[in-house]
Amino acid sequence: MQAPASSAAVAGTRFDVIVVGSGASGGWAAKRLSEAGLQVCMLEAGRALTDADYQEHVPAHALPYRARADEVIRRTRPKQKDCYACREWNYHWFANDIDEPYTTPSDKPFAWMGRLRVVGGRTNVWGRQSYRLGDIDFKAASHDGHGIDWPLTYTDLAPYYDLVEEYVGITGIAEGPDAVVPDGRFHPPMGLSCVEHGVRNRLRRQFGRTMTLGRSANITKPINGRGACHYCGPCEHGCATHSYFNSAFTTVADAVATGRTTLVTGAMVSQVLTDPATRKATGVRYVDRATRQVREVHARVVVLAAQALESTRILLNSQDGGLANGSGVLGRYLMDHISGGGAAAEFPDLAGTVMGPGSPRRPNGIYLMRFRNLPGQPASASKDFLRGYGYQGGGSTGLRSNAPGFGAAYKAALRETSTTFSLGGFGECLPHADNHVALDRDVVDAWGIPVLRVSMRWTDNELALRRDMAVQAAEMLEALGGRRIQIRLNARQIPGYGIHEVGTARMGADPKQSVLNQFQQAHELQNLFVTDGAGFPSIACQNPTLTIMALTVRSCDYMLEQMKTGNL
């Protein structure tokens, strides 16, 4: 990928489209539009990474602090360090929380983690779990009456899921047309461990529930110059062989290679510019991260793909009351997945090959599909909560890590093997208007841009759902033959730890109740699109990134059609 352009180089240039953000959504937008012949300006708040940044093969003992000085990282990244992926290998990829703060009410803490400041955004460190949503998710409000339906169906999005999956490369196992989570276009599966095979078969036989290999964006065969995964393990440290999906070395690289995408790094976008006479967006204003100079760039169309909360922050700062906010719902209906409920058990009768410290590390686990509150299945209904959850987790045979005793007894116990299996739930958070973000104009970041004030709490529905995650996991594992059951229930885990923030600029058929239409186009400004997770009317219980990418491609195809007909 060629070197990014400087801020000064784009001053005075008018583009066809501005794309704000270079992550899962922004990368696809730039690729799709520039390959169609448009001139695109991509603005990224962070810097470009080089091969030297990827340290997945660097052992802990080779690091300056040997990965044992978390307090050093917390001096500049006290919030980001709570993210599982923020470690000594890569912490400098993350936003500096001192320079880029956010605020919360004292009684509503929120963990806004995974704020990356490098090209590719969160796709540098994401968990890569990639699941389709089905009509049970798109039409959830029709099933239980809460919230609003999505203004599109699974049939509308299915061809775009196909396109994205074939390009991204996702390992998985097809489970058939009756599976709760629709099948996709999969690379050969990575394979399950002995205990995972056993639990999968017993679950299907005893409960009729579907546990499958995690559908992960790690390729298992070479495509587009990318090498197959070599099972080194720590994908969050980067990948020299480009085996996991990262927009920096896939969609963004493709876009720049066309010669029609100009990538500008270090661009802290603050506002969308508009023309009051035409009621159209004209471009964006941003602050150069290094020089602190305020600059503007102009285009026919503006696409916000900065990440749900970041894009909403830009809209809120673009106009008094928020840009494109005639409905009054901009900033509202913030959602994240709730976790913290599950269980683990030992399965000595399902022992397999011992996985020691030097063994290959499969960068993926299992996925147990939702089985609660399924339409047409009365036995799945819960009287305590709406919607449902899925489980991620996995199991293997290894040396016992929690050996008891001291001295000789401890040494002997360390040589024993243990076959364990665990389940951890990810549940759907209902959309509520009170869960929202707003500008805190009393606090600005290091570039003078007002920060967000995030106000969110779990409702009784989410808390009941989390308890059920733990109870059901323990009951299943015991019924399947597990021993030494350990229930895991983190009742104090606050919103944000799912790192799947969506909502705050939701799509809808009714402009009085939504910000965007089904193509993620603002109801009030036809040449403004918001293509990240901000547009989700509901969150489902599946990871959102695959859907974000499919929606982006669909929106870009619509945009191209509208531009050809002169409507944009």
pLDDT tens by residue, 274-314:
999 999 999 999 999 999 999 999 999 999 999 999 999 99
Q: What is the pTM of this model?
A: 0.96
Kindly state the helix (H) or strand (E) to which residue 282 belongs, with its residue range: strand 280-288
Residue 177 to residue 187: CA distance in whole angstroms: 18
Residue 484 to residue 349: CA distance in whole angstroms: 13
Q: Which amino acid is at 447?
A: W
CA 376 distance to own-chain centroid:
30
| Highest CATH level, class, for 15-129+262-336+433-455+501-564 | alpha beta
Q: Where are the beta strands (DSSP E) in 325-364?
A: 341-346, 354-355
Cα dist from 256 to 6, 44, 348, whole Å: 14, 13, 53
Of 158, 43, 122, 544, residue with least CA distance to 336: 544
Position 416 scores a pLDDT of 83
CA angle 94, 253, 290 (to 5 degrees): 45
Residue 310 CB neighbour total at 10 angstroms:
22
Cα dist from 317 to 104, 116, 183, 468, 547, whole Å: 18, 21, 40, 40, 27
For the chain, the first-to-last Cα distance in angstroms comes to: 30
Position 179 scores a pLDDT of 96
Q: Which amino acid is at 246?
A: N
pLDDT digits 0-9 by tens, 38-90: 999 999 999 999 988 999 999 999 999 999 999 999 999 999 999 999 999 99
> Are the C-beta atoms of residues 46 and 24 closer than 8 Å to each other?
no
Query: Long-range contacts made by residues 29-32, C-beta under 8 angstroms, separation at least 24?
Result: 29/303, 29/305, 29/531, 29/552, 29/555, 29/556, 30/251, 30/252, 30/255, 30/261, 31/251, 31/252, 31/254, 31/255, 31/261, 32/552, 32/553, 32/556, 32/557, 32/560
> Are the C-beta atoms of residues 393 and 212 closer than 8 Å to each other?
no
Residue 533 to residue 131: CA distance in whole angstroms: 15
Position 211 scores a pLDDT of 98
Query: What are the structural domain ranges in the chain?
Result: 15-129+262-336+433-455+501-564, 193-215+339-427+459-489
Residue 132 CB neighbour total at 10 angstroms:
22
Residue 94 to residue 448: CA distance in whole angstroms: 19
Sequential pLDDT tens for the chain (568 residues): 666 776 666 767 899 999 999 999 999 999 999 999 999 999 999 999 998 899 999 999 999 999 999 999 999 999 999 999 999 999 999 999 999 999 999 999 999 999 999 999 999 999 999 999 999 999 999 999 999 999 999 999 999 999 999 999 999 999 999 999 999 999 999 999 999 999 999 999 999 999 999 999 999 999 999 999 999 999 999 999 999 999 999 999 999 999 999 999 999 999 999 999 999 999 999 999 999 999 999 999 999 999 999 999 999 999 999 999 999 999 999 999 999 999 999 999 999 988 877 789 999 999 999 999 999 999 999 999 999 999 999 999 988 767 777 888 888 777 788 999 999 999 999 999 999 999 999 999 999 999 999 999 999 999 999 999 999 999 999 999 999 999 999 998 999 999 999 999 999 999 999 999 999 999 999 999 999 999 999 999 999 999 999 999 999 999 999 999 999 9
Kindly state the helix (H) or strand (E) to which residue 268 belongs, with its residue range: strand 267-275
Residue 539 to residue 351: CA distance in whole angstroms: 37
Position 6 scores a pLDDT of 64
Helix (H, G, I), strand (E, B) or coil at 392: strand
Strand 14-20 and strand 40-43: pairing? parallel
Kindly state the helix (H) or strand (E) to which residue 142 belongs, with its residue range: helix 140-144
Position 260 scores a pLDDT of 98
For 349, counting Cβ atoms within 10 Å of its Cβ (0-12 exposed, 13-18 middle, 19+ buried), the class is exposed
Position 13 scores a pLDDT of 82
Residue 28 to residue 553: CA distance in whole angstroms: 7
**Rg over CA atoms, the chain:** 23
- Ramachandran angles phi, psi of 248, nearest 5°: -60, -40
H helix intervals, 317-390: none
With tokens 């959830």, the residue in question is 140
Of 254, 229, 288, residue with least CA distance to 120: 254
